[in-house]
Homo-oligomer: A and B are copies of this chain.
Amino acid sequence: MSIERFGVGARMSQAVVHGSTVYLAGQVADKPAGANVVEQTRQVLAQIDRLLAEAGTEKSHLLSATIYLADIASFAEMNSVWEAWVIKGATPARATVEAKMVSPDYKVEIACIAAKS
Known A-B contacts A18-B63, A99-B99, A115-B1; the reply to A91 vs B23 at CB < 8 A is: no
Alpha-carbon gap, A26 to B97, bound state (A): 10
A15→B109 CA distance, assembly (Å): 22
Shortest Cβ distance from residue A54 to the other chain B in the assembled complex, whole angstroms: 13
| Docked complex Cα distance between A89 and B8 (Å) | 6
Chain B residues contacting A11 (CB-CB under 8 Å) are 79, 82-83, 86, 91, 94
Number of copies: 3
Considering only residues 5-44 of chain A, those with a C-beta below 8 Å from chain B are 5, 8-16, 18-21, 23-26
Closest chain B CB from A62 CB (angstroms): 8
Contact (Cβ within 8 A) A99 B102: no
* Size of interface on A: residues with Cβ below 8 Å to B: 51
Known contacts A91-B11, A92-B13; decide if A3 and B72 are in contact (CB<8 Å).
Answer: no
Known: A20-B19, A21-B18, A115-B3. A66 touches B95 (CB 8 A): yes
